[in-house]
């Protein structure tokens, strides 16, 4: 560790940081005072608490001291529940004080364009050095003219399924239903065997939207046209998707799913009541971490019976919506220069690599270079995550991922459209209702 940090120290802090630090020490010596941390540059970074505890441990135990060594920045990392970040962001911006850098989920940077610093220099530099960003990362962090945030990572969302149970319904290892019809047929058989598929259509920020949006897109439905104004939700394609869903839900899904939150499908899958569900890699990694705790009905470790696959194809193609994260530098920060320096450092290949390794494939990098990483050679089950982000789209398609898209998303309109239909509302009425809501958001 020490060797790496020393190398980085020379490489990265050649310019301002080292000089500033030396100046700091010189002035301390001149004043004959004990070195006081108050005089060092401090940065406060707010993030969510990670699925992977070792990643958080790495940040706190290794990255923080290394950052101080390399950049002379005393870094404070605060981790809170992902759901609560927006409350903190809002009050920080409104009162003009708070964390210098906030790691935003989804397209939150688009909600606060007036309150963030243009980080185009950092983002462009990293993008160029690391093979360019995925569309999804770009669309949430770039407003078309400049970068509102520096992309950090993408949490892949794929179907986790039980190998043996899919074998029972005619899909030997390596094969998986390709389109929604096949998927539904397989689900019907699985449910008849007592192994329904599981999916939430509740108000959750993770699993419900990452399922509902790609499902709609694959049928050809979309919220708006490319101009971002003309609402076209009420289309033949959307109605078709809603109609298909109502039967599909009864045929294949665990009907308790309407109430599930982001953790329910993990529990259901790990306990062996669910054959297939859209999720991050958390189910598989958790099962692998505790092989004795999670076992199949035959008594074998559960993780050996899990595989991943993308959501099936529809008439309009095959899509995914993976959760992008990016770091916003807040305009009220008094340490903007240091903060940019820090962002450049932490997203640089060498430093990011350490964090990326601890993630075990849970998240993919925001740039395409990480597809080539040797991490993917370790575990073939994780392989589908490697390139998942390529098929990623973001809500608001085919318009920009702007505030309107975020409002539709945070009002759960698309999800509720399906939920209403599943609860018995006629497909046309559900689509009509959702169209009206989306239109009033864009009005």
Partner 1 sequence: MAVSDVTTTSDTYTGSVRRWPVTRLLEDERWLALVLLVPTMVLLGLFIAYPFVKGVELSVTDAKVGVPGNFVGMQNFVGLLNDSIFRVAVWNTIVYTAVTTVFKLALGLWLALLLNRNFKGKALTRAFILLPFIIPTVLSTFAWKWMFDPTFSVINWTLFRLGIISSRINWLGDPSLALISVIIVNVWRGVPFYAISLLAGLQTINPELQDAAAIDGARPWQRFWYVTWPLLLPVTMVVVLFSVIQTFADFQLVYVLTGGGPANATQLFATYAYQIGVGTGLLSQGAAISLAMFPVLLVVVIVQLLYIRRVETL
Partner 2 sequence: MIEGAKWRRWIFFYIPLCAFIFTLLFPFYWMLVTAVRPDSELYRPWSAPNYAPFWTSHPTLDHITYLLQETLFSTWMLNTLLISIAATLISLFCGLLAGYALSRLKFRFAGMLGTAIFITYLVPQTLLFIPLADIIRNFRLGDTPWALILTYPTFLIPFCTWLLMGYFKAIPRELEECARIDGAARWQAMLYIIFPIAVPGILSAGIFAFTLSWNEFIYALVFLSSPAEKTVSVGVTSELIRGDVFYWGSLMAGALLGSIPVAFVYSFFVEYYVAGLTGAVKG
* Partner whose footprint covers residue 433, from partner 1, partner 2, none (CB < 5 to 8 Å by kind): partner 1
Provide the β-strand partners of residue 309: 159
* Calpha distance 397→402 (Å, rounded): 10
Q: Please, what is the minimum distance in Å from the beta carbon of residue 47 to partner 2?
A: 11
Contact flag: residue 326 with partner 2 (CB under 8 A): no
Q: Please, what is the minimum distance in Å from the beta carbon of residue 98 to partner 2?
A: 8
Return the number of the residue (264 or 367) whose C-beta is nearest partner 1: 264
Considering only 295, 366, 415, 419, the residue that binds partner 2 (CB under 8 A) is 295
Q: What Cα–Cα distance (Å) separates residue 434 from each residue in 2, 149, 235, 249, 421? A: 56, 31, 11, 19, 11
The Cβ of residue 247 has, within 10 Å, a number of other Cβ atoms equal to 12
Contact flag: residue 209 with partner 2 (CB under 8 A): no
Which residue stretch of 48-56, 111-119, 210-218, 434-442 sits at the interface with partner 2 (rule: CB under 8 A)? 48-56
- Which one-letter DSSP state was computed for residue 235? S
Contact flag: residue 368 with partner 2 (CB under 8 A): no
* Partner whose footprint covers residue 33, from partner 1, partner 2, none (CB < 5 to 8 Å by kind): none
Contact flag: residue 203 with partner 1 (CB under 8 A): yes
* Calpha distance 6→327 (Å, rounded): 26
- Which one-letter DSSP state was computed for residue 272? T
The Cβ of residue 22 has, within 10 Å, a number of other Cβ atoms equal to 11
- Give the rounded distance of the alpha carbon of 124 from its chain centre: 21
Q: In what order do the strands lie in the sheet with 323-329?
A: 73-80, 41-48, 101-105, 323-329, 150-155, 363-365
Considering only 55, 86, 277, 333, the residue that binds partner 1 (CB under 8 A) is 86
* Calpha distance 8→66 (Å, rounded): 9
**Residue for token pair 């002035």:** 27
Could you please report the per-residue DSSP string of 38-93? GGSEEEEEEEEPPSSHHHHHHIIIIIHHHHHHHH-EEEEEEEE-GGGHHHHHHHHH
Which residue stretch of 64-72, 169-177, 267-275, 310-318 sits at the interface with partner 2 (rule: CB under 8 A)? 267-275
Contact flag: residue 87 with partner 1 (CB under 8 A): yes
- Report the phi/psi class of residue 248: left, alpha or beta, with left for phi > 0 and alpha for psi in -120 to 50: alpha
Query: What φ, ψ does residue 389 adopt, rounded to 5°?
Result: -65, -15
Residues 41-70 that bind partner 1 (CB under 8 A): none
Return the number of the residue (6 or 290) whose C-beta is nearest partner 2: 290
Considering only 416, 427, 431, 438, the residue that binds partner 1 (CB under 8 A) is 416
Q: Please, what is the minimum distance in Å from the beta carbon of residue 191 to partner 2?
A: 14
Return the number of the residue (173 or 271) whose C-beta is nearest partner 2: 271
* Calpha distance 63→49 (Å, rounded): 15
* Calpha distance 236→316 (Å, rounded): 13
Could you please report the per-residue DSSP string of 136-204? HHHHHHB-SSSBSSEEEEEE--EEEEEHHHHHHTT--TT----BHHHHHHHHHHHHHTT--BB---SS-
Contact flag: residue 273 with partner 2 (CB under 8 A): yes
Contact flag: residue 440 with partner 1 (CB under 8 A): yes
Contact flag: residue 112 with partner 1 (CB under 8 A): yes
Contact flag: residue 267 with partner 2 (CB under 8 A): yes
Residues in CB range of 330: below 8 A, 6 or more apart:
92, 93, 98, 99, 100, 101, 102, 115, 116, 117
Residues 222-281 that bind partner 1 (CB under 8 A): 254-261, 264, 267-268, 271, 273-274
Contact flag: residue 94 with partner 2 (CB under 8 A): yes
Which residue stretch of 53-61, 127-135, 199-207, 367-375 sits at the interface with partner 1 (rule: CB under 8 A)? 199-207
Contact flag: residue 76 with partner 1 (CB under 8 A): no
Q: Please, what is the minimum distance in Å from the beta carbon of residue 302 to partner 2?
A: 10
Contact flag: residue 403 with partner 1 (CB under 8 A): yes
Contact flag: residue 114 with partner 1 (CB under 8 A): yes
Q: What residues make contact with partner 1 under the rule CB under 8 A?
A: 86-87, 89-90, 93-94, 111-112, 114-115, 201-204, 254-261, 264, 267-268, 271, 273-274, 331, 403, 406-407, 410-412, 415-416, 419-420, 423, 433, 436-437, 440
Q: What residues make contact with partner 2 under the rule CB under 8 A?
A: 44, 46, 48-53, 76, 78-82, 84, 87-88, 90-92, 94-99, 155, 206-207, 262-263, 265-268, 270-273, 279-280, 282, 286, 290, 292-295
């Amino acid at each position: 560790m020490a060797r790496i940090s020393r190398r980085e120290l020379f490489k990265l802090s050649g310019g301002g940081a080292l000089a500033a630090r030396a100046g700091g020490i010189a002035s301390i010596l001149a004043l004959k005072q004990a070195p006081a941390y108050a005089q060092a540059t401090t940065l406060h970074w707010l993030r969510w608490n990670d699925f992977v505890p070792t990643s958080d441990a790495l940040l706190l135990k290794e990255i923080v001291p290394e950052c101080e060594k390399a950049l002379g920045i005393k870094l404070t990392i605060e981790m809170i529940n992902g759901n609560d970040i927006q409350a903190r962001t809002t009050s920080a911006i409104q009162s003009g004080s708070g964390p210098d850098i906030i790691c935003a989920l989804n397209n939150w940077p688009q909600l606060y364009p007036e309150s963030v610093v243009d980080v185009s220099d950092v983002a462009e530099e990293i993008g160029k050095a690391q093979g360019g960003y995925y569309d999804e990362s770009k669309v949430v962090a770039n407003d078309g003219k400049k970068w509102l945030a520096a992309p950090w990572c993408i949490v892949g969302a794929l179907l986790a399924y039980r190998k043996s149970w899919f074998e029972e319904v005619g899909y030997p290892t390596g094969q998986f239903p390709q389109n929604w019809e096949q998927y539904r047929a397989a689900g019907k058989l699985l449910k008849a065997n007592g192994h329904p598929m599981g999916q939430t259509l509740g108000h959750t920020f993770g699993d419900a939207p990452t399922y509902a949006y790609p499902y709609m897109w694959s049928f050809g439905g979309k919220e708006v046209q490319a101009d971002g104004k003309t609402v076209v939700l009420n289309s033949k394609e959307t109605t078709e998707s809603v109609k298909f869903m109502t039967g599909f839900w009864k045929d294949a899904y665990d009907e308790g799913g309407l109430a599930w939150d982001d953790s329910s499908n993990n529990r259901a899958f790990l306990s062996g009541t669910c054959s297939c569900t859209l999720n991050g890699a958390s189910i598989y990694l958790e099962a692998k971490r505790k092989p004795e705790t999670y076992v199949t009905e035959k008594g074998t470790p559960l993780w050996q019976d899990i595989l991943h696959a993308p959501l099936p194809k529809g008439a309009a193609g095959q899509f995914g919506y993976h959760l992008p994260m990016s770091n916003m530098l807040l305009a009220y920060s008094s340490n903007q220069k240091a903060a940019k320096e820090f962002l450049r450092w932490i997203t640089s290949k060498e430093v990011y690599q350490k964090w990326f390794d601890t993630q075990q494939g849970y998240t993919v990098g925001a740039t395409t270079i990480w597809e080539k990483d040797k991490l993917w050679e370790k575990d073939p089950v994780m392989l589908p995550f490697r390139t998942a982000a390529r098929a990623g789209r973001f809500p608001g398609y085919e318009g920009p991922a702007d505030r309107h898209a975020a409002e539709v998303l945070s009002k759960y309109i698309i999800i509720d459209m399906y939920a209403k239909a599943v609860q018995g509302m006629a497909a046309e009425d559900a689509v009509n209702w959702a169209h009206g809501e989306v239109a009033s958001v864009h009005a």
